[in-house]
Chains A and B, each alone.
Chain A
Amino acid sequence: MRSVLMILVFALLVSSPALAHRVNIFAYVEGGEVVVECSFSKSKRVRHGHIEVRDAVSGETLLQGTTDAEGLFRFPVPEQARTSGSGLRILLQAGEGHQNEWIVDAAEFLGAPITAAPAPSAPQSDTAAGSASGGNVAASHVPGLTRSDVEEVVAAALDAKLAPIQRELREQGLKGPGVQEIVGGIGWIFGLIGVAAYFKSRPRV
């Protein structure tokens, strides 16, 4: 008995809480960064889960990384995704056969400001220049403000406003099965057995 207890204690100390039914992944664009949140359930985050970011269309791997202790992984929107205009497919491997993915639509990050890009590539500066000339009418009244400044402020305000909605969406994804699913599933089982019983029943004489 004592040895069993010892094993139990040992197991609890050593094992990582990595076992669940499924792993959840949720990603959103904040500023110029994509934030990926990974969790097994509301309270259990995926620590050191392997993340792979791929081009949603070509399937080419753009970057890789691991989540931190909070189950978060941040990365700047890759140049390549901006230029190609295809979305990002974010793949999470959490070990023990747990895997999930999330697709970030290109529309989500194409409007985002460039933050971590060291040198903006040619097409981006082109579009920036083009839009700046278009926005000159509005911006000309306030000489100190460029269009990109305004965009940044608006984006920050929008991020703040949308944060609760994002949180709600995230929690919806994390919600376990409800009573409906459970009762429905049990109903299915008994229904199937009913069908089996019908076919297996002996004809009455």
Chain B
Amino acid sequence: MHISEGVLSAAILGLGAALTVCGTAIGLRRLDYDRLMTVAILAAAFFVGSLIHIPIGPASAHLILNGLLGAILGWAAFPAILVALMLQSVLFQYGGFTVIGVNAFNMAFPAVLCFLLLRPLLSRPGRMRTAGAFCCGALSVAGAALLTAVSLAWTDQGFLQAARLLFLAHVPVMVVEGIVTVLAVSFLYKVRPELLLFAAGPEGGRHA
């Protein structure tokens, strides 16, 4: 998912950066003082999550955890993912500095979209929440793969080939992230329900 430096054209880089700036601005505006620490913890989780490879068979892709951030943070996933990606590119040399805008949008936007779409499911108890959390985790990864393929559509490789490879390699990741998101969400709901945006009562969407 980390597109390298020098692959994309300037137009796509600019578009990605602009969209990321918008998303981050919305995320920061809706961010509560009380939720800052949650954002920090999840940004750290995202930062480290990329180091965890899923070694099933020959295909090993790394965790992304964008769905988890989306499910818990909503729009605040944008600033969290942006900061984590910046540090990954500076400290680990993953991706590149000019590509951060595109990479951040590719990972954060599907997560936020999943959160907005699945919030009705997530706020219901029991099995519905489990299903919602699983979909949020899995579909965010799928969306990120799709957006990455779209970004690569204007390179030599073309959209279809990139999309096929990205999807196939991320099927195990999607399953694992779905499960991780279910476990994290159900655990948080039991222990600290106030951390979850969607569980914050009938007016819970106020800061979403």
Contact = CB atoms under 8 A, between A and B. Distances in A.
A154 B28 CA distance: 64
A176 B88 CA distance: 12
A95 B155 CA distance: 10
Contact of A200 (B33, B50, B59, B152): B33
B37 interface: yes
Q: What bracket does the count of chain A residues touching chain B fall in?
A: 35 or more
B151 interface: yes
A185 interface: yes
Given A15-B168, A19-B166, A22-B4, A201 B33 contact: yes
A11 B93 contact: no
Interface stretch (B15-23, B38-46, B116-124, B198-206): B38-46
A189 B175 contact: no
A13 B172 CA distance: 12
A101 B7 CA distance: 12
B62 interface: yes
Contacts of A98: 4, 7
B7 A97 contact: yes
A122 interface: no
B6 interface: yes
Contact of B162 (A22, A96, A202): A96
Contact of A193 (B39, B57, B91, B168): B39
Contact of B165 (A16, A21, A100): A16
A186 B165 contact: no
Contacts of B157: 95-96
A99 interface: yes
Given A185-B88, A192-B83, A193-B39, A99 B6 contact: yes
A11 B58 CA distance: 10
A12 B40 contact: no
Contacts of A189: 40, 43-44, 47, 83-84, 87
Q: Which of A23, A184, A196 has its CB near the most chain B CB atoms (within 10 A)?
A: A196
B39 A8 contact: no
Contacts of B66: none
Contacts of B8: 97
Q: Which of A17, A98, A188 has its CB near the most chain B CB atoms (within 10 A)?
A: A188
Contacts of A16: 58-59, 165, 169
B94 A19 contact: no
Nearest to A186: B44
A4 interface: yes
A177 interface: yes
B9 interface: no
Interface in B63-116: 83-84, 87-88, 91-95
Contacts of A188: 87
B48 A182 contact: yes
Given A99-B6, A200-B33, A17 B166 contact: no
Given A22-B92, A197-B36, 4 more contacts: A15-B168, A16-B58, A18-B165, A177-B51
23 contacts: A4-B175, A7-B171, A8-B56, A11-B168, A11-B171, A12-B59, A14-B168, A16-B165, A19-B60, A19-B165, A19-B169, A21-B50, A22-B95, A95-B161, A96-B152, A96-B162, A177-B92, A182-B48, A188-B87, A189-B43, A190-B44, A193-B40, A197-B33
